[in-house]
Structure 1
Amino acid sequence: MSQWEAILKLTGVFQEQALAVYSQEIVPVEVRQYLAQWIESQDWKLAARDLSLATVLFQNLFENLDTHYSRFTETHEVVQAYSIRNFKLIVQSQYQENPQLLAELIRALLQKEKQILMESQDTQSQSGQQVQLPMETGQQNNIEQRVNEAKERVTSLHKEVKFLEDQQETFDFRYKTCQVQITAHPQDPGLRKKYSELQQQLNELDKKRREVIDLVKQLLGLCETLLGFLQQEISNWFERQRLLCIGADTDTSLKHLEIWVTKTEEVFFHLRRILGNLGELSNQVTYEGDPLKIDPPNLQKRLLEMLHCLLQRSFVVCKQPIMTFPCKRPLVLKTSTQFSVGVRFLVNSKELRNNNMKISYSIDKDPPDIKGYRRFNLLGPQDKTLEYVQGEGLAVEYKHLNLKEQRAGGGGKGSKGSSDGSLSVMEELHIITLKTEFKYEGVKLDLEATTLPFVVISNIIQFARAWASVLWFNLLSSNPKDVTFFSKPPAASWNLIADALSWQFSFCTKRGLNEDQLKMLGKKLCGAVPNEHSVVMWSKFSKESMPKVSFTFWEWFDAILTLVKAHLEKIWSDGYVMGFVSRSTEDALLKTMKQGTFLLRFSESLRDGGITCSWVDHQLDGTYLIRSVEPYTKKELGNIPLIEIIRNYQLLAEENIPENPLKYLYPNIPKDDAFGKYYEESCEATMEYQKYMKRRLIMVSERNVDDSQSSMASGTPQYFSEDHEMLPHDLTEYSQTDSNLDDVIDRMTMDNVFINPGTDPMLSNLSTIPNEVSLETSIDYRVPENFDLF
């Protein structure tokens, strides 16, 4: 069943939610209906990142629309034809220049549909009903078909065995009756005929036994294939979980797997009971060459091995170790800080819900022989039992675990490298093992599940580097239990790293990285524009400082990610921050734009992350300047939002005439059109402040006298680098009743008021007020230190 067919089967509030998805007419519901199969068969997620694929899908979409339009026109279905034509015109006008955006919108619609179906399943499962969700892959369809076929076959086999039991009882009765008659009347001439009939019945019984054994063998063959599919699907789920841990947008729901595993387990136990019954039949009636004496023991052994394998793979860590505070990234744990981990048993049959399967845990069960490898005590509650949790199956979660290092010898090794053969703290991996015992219908088995390797830190400032290790391991390790991975870490292809870097942003915000942004990052890691053969070394990624700075690529990248999440999330998600763009690219983009066109890019020289505005300033002689302001860091952005800086930013010329040089966001969006919707939010945030003081904080830069007079010949830009020529900025304040600083200066001059720059560093930019202003009065505009502006 396709996803759209499942949507159409919804009722009530879930149907309303599904229809509401299409209320904005990104894709009309009629188009979704007509192109359902084609839409669901395309890789929209990849197309959203790959321009060439997005372009191909865009053209294929048009071809499909044309086909349906022609069909509706020929059959005089005017309404349907109009809907198709109108949608085609809208798509052509809005997305032809950006097919990737259309791909992203369609991907989001499909994801919303899937979420509604999942919620519907949760609700119906709570009421004891079943809902069929659409399969996503061919393998999942194969599993679904084989599970259903296995259940049908084992039910049919059960009936055949029941018939065999009846047939054997009839034969047994007649045989025993004949034996009595022989004892009573040994010379009875009719006995020969009865013997002949008994032999015929025995032959039929033997034939039926062999048929049943053949059916068992066929069913076991189907079960082996099914087990192979389930093992692969569980392995795929583990891989998706690993990628989810490092930010990938992937589905790690266990609902389908739990249903399949539970049904398969029921088939296995049912078949095991059938084989037991066949053994009992052989004990009641047997003969030379009896197939029930030869085959069932071997079939039982074969089935038990399959059952053990299924049960062992069905005990999984569903929630990887994660600290509840202060970070939401998993697999980095701080000593003496609580964290949680969850385990789940995918066999969720009603008979097992009260089976009292107790869970125990340990850390580093098989520690590696590595010099300096740290040992930890894992502290927390013990003896928890698997419990049925609505919507989560048989599961248990430990929410209050913590680690304490076992101190020995000369203390810890700190974060030094591995020149002595040891690993640094940020490269040292640890594993938690969770165990339980399964007992049911004579089957007894120890089950074990392990977490993904995690890094243990002692100070939160180590978190970023530890996360880089988690990222690298889960991208590249072929063995999820390899705690010695960083003894010789492999290189990564640039394509893998590009995906991972984009995931970091899409996980924290609503927007990942585009091709241009990734190209800039790729040049930093690969030394040139990366291609499909480019590779990145672990040391280059997280251990060695980048050229001309004293910090690594990852430290810089992660600091920018933190800055975006804390201060720039909305404008980043809306696509207004170009961010990762080199100075040369910045110059090429801005030089042909109209006066005052600006863009926002991240600083390349600050360890803790910064963002700067760069704009084009065309000169009278035909040359141009690319001007930039010193990067704003978390310190400045904590005082005033970037949108307010852009809104009120002032550049002072030598005459103290203020102006806002930021006019158009690249390529040609008026500043207020781009950021106007955020102004109201910032005004609401300062409403309480305005009740007491009608002041506004703004950022101001002073333009050097030479700036307006110096330019390079032949249109060559004069570029202000971050290191020493970038325009400095200063934080100051002015009365909100005044429209700009020019009004402030004029009014103060008329009132004989002099603002003493020495009273507050924030006002030092106004020190160039004309000397003729009176020095008789001094006003201190400083904001009280304990006053919270926002």
Structure 2
Amino acid sequence: MTQWDVLKSLDTAYLEQVQDLYSLDRLPMDLRQFLAEWIESQDWNLAKRDPQVARVTFQNLLEHLNNQYSRFSHDQAILEQHNIRKIKQDIQACYQESPTEFAKLILFFLEKERNIISAAKDAEQSLTEQTPHAILETPRHKEIEQRVMEVKQKVQAIDQDVKSLEEQQEIFDFRYKNYQAQVSSNQAVQHQLKNVLQSMLNTLDRSRKVYFSSHQEILARLKELLGRCETLVRFLEEELGEWCQRQQDACIGRSLDVSLSHLETWFTGTAEAFFQLRRILNDLVELPAKISYENDPLRTDPVILQARVNELITCLLKRAFVVEDQPNQLYQPCMSPPWPRPLVLRTSVRFSVSTRLLVKLQELNHSLKVTAAIDNNAMTTKGYRKFNIMGTLDKMLSMDNVLKKGMVAEFKHLTLKEQRAGVGGKGSKGINEVLVTEELHVMNFTVKFKYQDLELELEATTLPLVIISNVGQQSSAWASVIWFNLLATDTKNLAFFSNPPAATWARLANALSWQFSCATNRGLDSEQLSMLAEKLCGTNPKPRPESLVKWSRFSKESMPGLAFSFWTWFDGVLHLVKAHLENIWNDGYVMGFVCRATERSLLKRKRTGTFLLRFSESCKEGAVTFSWVDHQETDKPTVRSVQPYTKQDLANIPFVEILHSYQILADENIPENTLLYLYPDTPKDEAFSKYYLSNNRENIEEYRKYMKRRLIMISERPPDMMPPLQLNEGEDMEPTDIEIPEPPDFSVLSLMTGPDDPMMPVFKFENGDDLY
């Protein structure tokens, strides 16, 4: 069963995601349908790396389209024939000269399809494992659950008591009317009925007084219950506030559970009890309208309690309307990064957002309309940009989403368009000379709540957004999102960056680690964070958890001796890892954030050939290098490094292949393998062999007709290039004792076509076949 067949068998909600994916108009769904099996059988990763493979694969795809065209022509399927011809013409026009881009496009769509399938499987497993009584996570959750049940039970008990009062009053009312009908006809009967009615009235009065004379009386119980309800609402508000904080942290990369299932259960149960209590009080208010007497407590107290209940319901409902999924741009292959970065929106690029009402009542399904807007309370400062939202701005709250199963309104395919009238515009500065990437906006959602005889207007707002107009602003905008959600105490403070607070290193370190754990499966360890702390806080004094980092130091000011900021460098490294080093990063093989002096301190006492992988400190867009230790005749350690490899370099050859085939020319130009043991002492092939291309035999037969080639990475070793690091016996150099500049470029990529050169290594399979 192909991946495409699995997709087609998913539930409606996931099929909509597939339709959304292919609505990007970058890959025709008909092409995916017609050639599903063939597309999934190709090695698009290899095609992405090798232009020749990409060209062959692209020509094969065109040939398959020709075959499909002929089959439709034979079947007289004119419409399908027309579609095939147009698909072929379109992809030839776009990708004939750049087949590797087409391979990247196919990889993107296949990966997104796998994500949809994975999400569907996870949801199915979650539903399977779900039990009727979910295990609560904390003692506080248990207390809230207990209070909700207690309130519902007490309301139900009071409801029964009030119904008993109503029944007694109805019986009295019925007999009183009979008495009035018979009183003029028979004086004896009149006297008898009057005595009966008096007795009944006395009984009714005693019943009311019983209820209102002790701690068991209805009004006293109602007052006590309302006090507990107020406490419960306060607990729910605190729990919702903690969820909002978790959502903020999750938006900037922290792995947290932001499910609303518990809150929805508690809010719904509480609201149901409140509405029942509200009905009870309405009934109590109506009782004296039929029968009352002097000093009747039902004339005054229920009215006061009604106001308190209405206040509690209003407070509960206004907090129950939330933005469940913050605005998130729909990712496109031409835009980076390929992992979620919500709250950064680019004009004219589609995004989605969803709201949720935590009071889930069946009677409200499809009856409440949510309306979206932006910047309802916009800043009026000169230069502050204004935007229009394009798309469907009205959605009904419904329970149709099979995954969320709540009162949800999802807004999909929205876009933003800047208003051109007046001052401001692209590139303009906002409030107090704040840059565009520091200018904050919010989306507003309103819903007119109507249930029973209660009408309210509920409002929810997103977290502040940063709106950009080009991809180049995305990194800086994301830095602003991180800083705001890490430090803002008021999420509606749109002037935050007019005077941004400093961050403690302890908090900032967590956020930096989240960036890696979100993009990959591995965060930053204490040693890596220590190196970053020194870059941001300096070394004198030594950085401490409470050390402060200013916003300008983090994102705006250039680092000493360099022409770019810390964040620009850090984000460049993150993109490099995600695009080219993710597998070996997740395996823990990339030490990464380690300064050159510390690197030499670690390697100096290791055996010859021990190497480690670190990120360049001087490359703006991120680069990776390796350094190894060598012992000459004097047995003194020399630490050598190769010029860092950038994203452009690694787009042509995988980094593990560089490690695999790297050699250095020793005396008399004899190649020498210098990378033997990954720090601290893991043999190189033991660590990296599973990623070598020579261990991948897929599609090799397709390239048998080509001339052999051999690939090898070579560095020359001029005698005066890097003098050995001399250490006296017993001397222990600290990382801060030495500062060595980045070495010059002495890496060479050699492509040899002759099969007889003994210096050129060839990738070999176990059966003797060559890889070429």
Q: Which category of TM-score, normalised to the shorter sequence, fits these structures?
A: 0.7 to 0.9
Please give the per-residue CA displacement for 1:223-243, whole angstroms capped at 9, x wherever unaligned.
211111111111111111111
Q: How do 1:549-564 residues align onto structure 2 when only pairs under 5 Å count?
A: 549-564=562-577
C-alpha spacing 1:541/1:730, structure 2 compared with 1 (3 Å): same
Q: What is the deviation of 1:166?
A: 2.1
Alignment equivalent of 2:619, drawn from 603, 606, 612:
606
**Cα distance in 1, alignment partners of residues 279 and 200 from structure 2:** 32
Counterpart of 1:285, as a letter, is I
Stretch deviating more after TM superposition (207-216 or 297-306): 207-216
Q: Which has the higher contact order (CA 8 A, sep 6+)?
A: 2
Pick the aligned partner of 1:212 from 218, 227, 239.
Answer: 218
The 5 A counterparts of 1:431-580 are 431-528=442-539, 529-580=542-593
1:714 equivalent to 2:715? Answer no
- C-alpha deviation, 1:498, in angstroms: 0.3
- Are 1:490 and 1:538, in contact at CA under 8 Å, matched by a contact in 2? yes
Task: Tell me the CA shift for residue 273 of structure 1.
Answer: 1.0
TM-score w.r.t. length of structure 2 = 0.76
Q: Is the 8 A contact 1:525 1:553 kept in 2?
A: yes
- Distance in 2 (CA, whole Å) between partners of 1:720 and 1:691 is 54
Moved more, 478-487 or 288-297: 288-297
Residue 322, structure 1, aligned to residue 328, structure 2 = yes
Match of 1:391 among 386, 395, 403: 403
Structure 2 residue 747 is matched with structure 1 residue 729: yes
Query: Cα distance 1:558–1:180, how it changes in 2: closer, same or farther (>3 A)?
Result: same
Shift of 1:638: 0.9
CA drift of 1:180 comes to 7.4
d(CA) in 2 for partners of 1:368, 1:345: 28
Q: Given the alignment of the two structures, is residue 202 of structure 1 paired with residue 205 of structure 2, yes or no?
A: yes
- The C-alpha deviation readout for 1:729-770, integer Å capped at 9, x for no partner, is 1112246977962679xxxxxxxxxxxxxxxxxxxxxxxxxx
Counterpart AA for 2:148:
V
8 A contact 2:343–2:463 mirrored in 1: yes
Structure 2 unaligned segments of length 5 or more: list them. 1-119, 763-770
- State the partner residue of 1:152: 153
After superposition, the C-alpha distances for 1:468-510 in whole angstroms (9 at most, x for unaligned) are: 0000000000111111000000000111100000000000111
The structural deviation recorded for 1:162 is 1.6
Q: TM-score, normalised by structure 1?
A: 0.74
**Mapped contact 2:638–2:724 kept (Cα < 8 A):** no
Percent identity, please.
49
8 Å Cα contact 2:596-2:740 kept in structure 1 = no
Partners of 1:338 and 1:700 lie apart in 2 by 47
CA shift in 2, pair 1:298/1:191, >3 Å: closer
Structure 1 residue 120: Cα displacement: 5.6
Aligned to 1:703: 717
The 10-residue stretch of structure 1 (548-557 or 735-744) with the greater mean CA deviation from structure 2: 735-744
Which whole-Å CA distance do the structure 1 matches of 2:724 and 2:195 have between them?
127
Instruction: State which of 372, 378, 398 in structure 1 corresponds to 2:389.
Output: 378
Total equivalences in the alignment: 625
Residue of structure 1 equivalent to 2:708 = 694
Preserved contact between residue 348 and residue 394 of structure 1 (Cα < 8 Å)? yes
Q: Distance in 2 between matches of 1:638 and 1:287?
A: 90
User: Closer, same or farther in 2 for the Cα pair 1:484/1:189, shift >3 Å?
Assistant: closer
After the TM superposition, which residues 544-693 of structure 1 pair with which residues of structure 2 at under 5 Å, given as runs? 544-679=557-692, 683-684=696-697, 687=700, 692-693=706-707
Q: Secondary structure at the match of 1:598?
A: strand
Quick one: distance in 2 between partners of 1:293 and 1:116?
Answer: 59
Q: 1:213 to 1:689 in 2, by over 3 A?
A: farther
Distance of 1:708 and 1:484 partners within structure 2: 52
**Equivalent pair of 2:558/2:564 in contact (CA under 8 Å):** yes
Q: Give the conservation status (yes or no) of the 8 Å contact 1:628–1:727.
A: no
Name structure 1 gaps, 5 residues minimum: 1-114, 745-788
1:741 is aligned to: 759
2:639/2:725 contact within 8 Å kept: no
Q: Deviation at 1:368?
A: 1.7
Q: Which amino acid aligns with 1:137?
A: T
- Tell me, yes or no, if the aligned pair for 1:379 and 1:403 is still in contact at 8 Å: yes
Change over 3 Å in CA distance of 1:738–1:712 after alignment to 2: farther
Q: 1:612 to 1:720 in 2, by over 3 A?
A: farther
For residues 227-261 of structure 1, give each alpha carbon's deviation from its aligned partner in whole angstroms, at most 9, with x where no partner exists: 11111111111111111110001110011111111
* C-alpha contact (below 8 Å) 1:339/1:400 kept by paired residues: yes
Distance 1:380 1:669, change over 3 A: same
CA contact (8 A) 2:476 2:555 kept: yes
Superposition deviation, residue 682 in structure 1: 6.3
2: distance between equivalents of 1:378 and 1:743? 59
RMSD across aligned C-alpha pairs, in angstroms? 3.0
What aligned pairs does 1:85-234 form with structure 2 within 5 A after superposition? 122-123=127-128, 131-173=132-174, 184-185=186-187, 195=198, 198-208=201-211, 211-234=217-240
- Per-residue deviation at 1:695? 2.2
CA contact (8 A) 1:734 1:741 kept: no
Does the 8 A contact of 2:373 with 2:393 survive in 1?
A: no
2:415 equivalent among 389, 398, 402: 402
Cα deviation for residue 172 of structure 1 reads: 3.9
Which secondary structure state, in structure 2, belongs to the residue aligned with residue 490 of structure 1? coil
CA contact (8 A) 2:426 2:469 kept: no
